[in-house]
Amino acid sequence: MSPSPHTVGTLPAHRPAACPFDPPAELREARRHGPISRYTHPGGKPGWMITGYDLARSVLADPRFSSRKDLLNVVDFSLPPAPPGEFLLMDEPQHSRYRKPLVGRFTVRRMRMLTERVEQVTAEHLDAMAETGGPVDLVTAFAKPIPTIVICEILGVPYEDRPSFQEQIDAFMGGEVSDEELIAAYTATQEYLARLVAAKRANPTDDVLSELTAGDLTDEELKGISLILLAAGFDTTANMLSLGTYALLRHPEQLAALREDPTLTDGAVEELLRYLSVAKTFHRTALEDVELAGRTIETGTTVVLSFHTANRDPERFADPDALDIRRTYDGHLAFSHGIHQCLGQQLARLEMRVALRALIDRFPTLRLAVPAEEVALRPETADIFGVKSLPVTWDEDQAV
Ligand code: HEM
C-alpha cells in the first residue's frame, strides 16, 4: 500500500518572482513528492495532477484517457460536447475526421515552402521597428503580428479583416477580460468565421479553408476547425516569440552564444520550448479505473498534466531549471504527445527559427527598455503563458 499521496491545492498558484520562467512553487514541490499528486480543480471537484515527464507522456498515449470536453469533471455542472470541428477536445474516431484532412497541410515540406514568406513578413516588421528608433513594445511590433499574418494567410482571412479579428481573438485568449466580454469576443469570432466559411464556399481562393470546402465537411465543422487553428496557431507562437526574447535577454550569456553561432538556432528554439512551456497544462479524463504510479484514477476523474513541470523533471533533464541552448536531449512535451500532439509544430518552429534569428541579427544591442521586474507577465489564469508587453530598445547606430 503506497503512503497517502501529496496534495496540491487549487491552482492557479504564483510563479517565483525571482524567476518568472519557472513553474509555481506548489508544482515544483509536488514533483519532489513523486510524479502524481492529489489535486482539487478550481470548480471544487477532486482530481489528480501529473508533474512527472514519463508519467505525463504515458497518459498522453493512453486511450483510456479522454480529451472530450463533455467528460471534463472539473465543475459541478455538465459541460457540453466540443462544437463540430473543434477536434482538440474530441477522441477517436471523431478526432481523425478533422485532423486527417489537415495533416498534409502542415508537414515539414509544406512549411519549407513557406519559409520565404515568413522571412519577408519578419523583415517588414523589423524594418518598421527600426524606423521608430525605439523603444518599442516587442509584443505589438513583432511577436504578435508575425504569426497572426502567417496563420491568417494559410487559412485565408482577408488582409482588411485582420485588425478587428485580432482584437476579438486577443480578448478571448488573453485571460484578462470579464466573463461577459469573453463571451462577446467568442461569439463575434464565431460569427466572423461563419461568414468567412460561406464566402470561401461561394468563391474559393488559394488557402486551406477553401481547399477544405472541397471535402465532405459541413460549414459548421469548417467554422470549428478554423477556430481551433486560429486559437492554437498564433497566441502560442506569439508568446513563445516575446517570452523567448525576454528569457534570452535575462540570460545574456545564452543570447551572446546564440548571436555568435547561428548553428545554435534550432537547438535554442527547442530549449526555449522546453524551458518556457507556454502551453502549461492540459486535461484528460479516465474512461475506466486506471492504475498510475501506485494510485488508482477512478473512472470519470479528470487529471491535469503540467507540461511545464514535466519539462523540468530532474529525472528526465539534467539541471532542468537551467536555460541551456546547447543542451542535447531526446524530445520534450511542449507540443504534447499522442494523437493530439500539436498539428502546427513545424509551423511554430519555422516562425521561431526565422523570427528570433532575424531579430537578434538585426539588433545586436537589443535590451529591455524597463527594469526586468517591471515587465508585466500574463496571469496564471491565462491558458497560454507570456508577457503582456515587452518594452525593448537598442543603439540605433548599431542596428544592421
Ligand atoms: C495542439 C502547443 C503552435 C495548431 C497542441 C497541443 C499543444 C500545443 C501542447 C496539444 C494539446 C493536448 O495534448 O491536448 C503549441 C505550442 C505552439 C503551437 C507551444 C507554439 C510554439 C501551433 C500552431 C498551430 C497549432 C502554429 C497552427 C496550425 C494546433 C492544433 C492542435 C494543437 C490544431 C490540436 C491537435 C489535435 O487535437 O489533434 N498545440 N502549439 N499549434 N496545435 Fe499547437
pLDDT in single tens digits along all 400 residues of the chain = 467 889 987 776 788 878 899 999 899 999 999 999 999 998 889 999 999 999 999 999 999 999 999 999 998 888 999 999 999 999 999 999 999 999 999 998 888 889 999 999 999 999 999 999 989 999 999 999 999 999 999 999 988 888 888 888 777 766 677 888 888 888 888 899 999 999 999 999 999 999 999 999 999 999 999 999 988 888 899 999 999 999 999 999 999 999 999 999 999 999 999 999 999 999 999 999 999 999 999 999 999 999 999 999 999 999 999 999 999 888 999 999 999 999 999 999 999 999 999 999 999 999 999 999 999 998 887 889 999 999 999 998 776 7
Q: What spacing in Å lies between the alpha carbon of 317 and ligand 1's midpoint?
A: 23
Please state, in angstroms and rounded to a whole number, the distance separating the CA atoms of residues 111 and 348. 10
Q: Give the atom of ligand 1 at the shortest distance from the alpha carbon of 88.
A: 37
Instruction: Say what angle helices 219-233 and 94-103 make with each other, to 10 degrees.
Output: 70
Q: What spacing in Å lies between the alpha carbon of 386 and ligand 1's midpoint?
A: 16
Q: Give the atom of ligand 1 at the shortest distance from the alpha carbon of 282.
A: 14
pLDDT for 140 = 94
Count, residues in the chain:
400
- CB 272 within 8 Å of CB 165: no
pLDDT for 1 = 42
> How many C-beta atoms lie closer than 10 Å to residue 300's C-beta?
14
Q: Is the CB of 358 under 6 A from ligand 1?
A: no
pLDDT for 2 = 63
Please state, in angstroms and rounded to a whole number, the distance separating the CA atoms of residues 384 and 175. 9
Q: Is the CB of 84 under 6 A from ligand 1?
A: no
pTM (2 d.p.): 0.95
Handedness of CA 264, 149, 279, 109 (dihedral sign): negative
Please state, in angstroms and rounded to a whole number, the distance separating the CA atoms of residues 123 and 363. 12
Which of these, 30, 390, 117, lies nearest to 238 by C-alpha position? 390
Beta strands in the chain (DSSP E): 7-8, 36-40, 46-50, 65-66, 136-137, 281-286, 290-292, 295-297, 302-306, 367-368, 391-393
Q: What spacing in Å lies between the alpha carbon of 277 and ligand 1's midpoint?
A: 12
- CB 105 within 8 Å of CB 229: no
- Does ipTM top 0.85? yes
Pocket test for ligand 1, best of 342, 345, 350, 384 (most atoms within 8 A of CB): 342
Q: Is the CB of 279 under 6 A from ligand 1?
A: yes
Q: What spacing in Å lies between the alpha carbon of 294 and ligand 1's midpoint?
A: 31
Which of these, 238, 222, 281, lies nearest to 149 by C-alpha position? 238
Write phi, then psi, for 39 (nearest 5 degrees): -150, 140
Pocket test for ligand 1, best of 62, 105, 236, 269 (most atoms within 8 A of CB): 236
Which of these, 53, 22, 21, 52, lies nearest to 35 by C-alpha position? 52
- CB 254 within 8 Å of CB 248: yes
Please state, in angstroms and rounded to a whole number, the distance separating the CA atoms of residues 351 and 188. 28
Q: How far is CA 283 from CA 48, 127, 154, 272, 383, in A?
A: 10, 41, 28, 23, 12
Cβ-Cβ contacts under 8 Å for 116 (sequence gap 6 or more): none
In this structure, the residue with its CA closest to atom 16 of ligand 1 is 236
Cell numbers for 242, please give them: 516575446
Residue 305, burial from CB neighbour count under 10 angstroms (0-12, 13-18, 19+): buried
Q: What spacing in Å lies between the alpha carbon of 340 and ligand 1's midpoint?
A: 8
Q: Is the CB of 332 under 6 A from ligand 1?
A: no
Write phi, then psi, for 326 (nearest 5 degrees): -95, 0
Q: What spacing in Å lies between the alpha carbon of 87 and ligand 1's midpoint?
A: 11
Q: What spacing in Å lies between the alpha carbon of 257 and ligand 1's midpoint?
A: 29
Please state, in angstroms and rounded to a whole number, the distance separating the CA atoms of residues 293 and 301. 16
